[in-house]
Structure 1
Amino acid sequence: MKCINCGTENNDANKFCRNCGNELKDENNPQEIICQTCGAKNKPGNNYCILCGENLIVTADKNSTKLNLHNRFNDTNKKRKQKHSSENKNYQMQKKIELKPVLITAIVIIVSYLAVTLIDYWKDKNTSSVRTVEIKSTNPVVESIVYEIASKFVCSCGTCGEKSLEKCTCPHAEEERQFIRDYMGKNGQKNDIIVALANKYGYLKSEYAKDYKKVDVSKIWKSNDLNTFSNSKNIIK
């Protein structure tokens, strides 16, 4: 018996197809013609029933019509499923196309943010690592003046225990002493250098403050101990 669903040949005793599990019915099997009058099984080549003599051509036509309707119904369902599957794929593809610009924009924003962050980090790292190098003069007279001026100040870094500027070895003290050298290189006068250094870095020792009246009072180290400057304005004229 041949399965009308998958076309697999089965034994006549089989009730269900051994390949697809479809129910095997005699009236749906094109290899046999069932007589509508007596129910006898006839071979496809018989024109009349072998048991009752009924015309089998009419019966075969009816069976063929049923089979065609069944196949047409299956084809319709199959096409409907294919159409639904195709529409679903098209919908998913359309959604992907719509989401693509959004994803690209998000990726660009994230990459830009990371790039800016890394650049800022690199700048901060390199900027913080740069320090003024103290380049001492080969002229002992120049160095003598540098340390003489530095002796009138306390290192302004705030972490070295307020050492005198000519003795402190911290990077900030080196920067201040280099400031003195650079200013001297511009033919600056000693008094002008002291005023400029005091107003920029502060911490001019109080015992020298009375000699430099253009120094901001707030730049004098322990200026509150000086009676001379206790009631003065910010800039001593």
Structure 2
Amino acid sequence: MKTLTELLAADAARIKNDIGSLMSMSGLHREREYDSIVVLNTDGNHWWDDLPLEGRRLQSKILGEYVQYRDLVRVLIRGLTSDGAREFDEADDTITKHVEQQRATWCKTVQEAQTETLEAIDEIQGLLARLYRLYSPDGEAMVIPDTNALILGVPLGQWSFEWCEAFTVVLTPTVLAELDELKIAHRNPDVRTKAERVIRQIKEYGRRGDLRVGVPILSGRITARAIAVEPRMDESLPWLDAVNN
């Protein structure tokens, strides 16, 4: 099984590769100049051309994967200094702006924009390298399951791994949303039932304590933690709020 560090590095490499493909389908043009009108834009003076359909599809894929990667990194780097948080926000803005292509940029060429974007991802990976707990032998072991691992596997309290005795199961926003969708919309009733079972498990952990901080599933061995993009867990999915149970 890959470590958290290896998983995030693989995610970053995949996103960078897709951004390269996106930029090969992108174009930039200088903003229009008018004799009597001066347009002031702090974002830049070059605008993106419309993407072809294939480019828009790839753009959507990148944004979905990047948001999941970014949200997890944001949680992990909370212990860094304010300078680290500022560097993260600046890198995130560069990546988002050049992938969404809805705002102007100071880059004069697509190649320049691509270089800035890829360097911004490297900067985020560099922030992760500052975190002692991700690289130290005594750091917290973290397991990040996908939806299939949760609904097809044994209950979380029965999980075990040869490479560690104690670990934290991290439930990402994407997985929580997918569980909610499977419970309601999946055409297979067996899948709906399994998704509902996992949701009941997570709700029970939420009754025991704050999932944002971490709730023991099996004392001394297994902890569950849910990542919420918003500061309040009840602002992500209604069934994660204890008052709605």
Q: TM-score range by the shorter chain?
A: under 0.3
Flag the structure with higher strand content: 2
* TM-score, scaled relative to structure 1: 0.19
Flag the structure with higher helix content: 2
Higher alpha-carbon Rg: 1
* TM-score, scaled relative to structure 2: 0.18
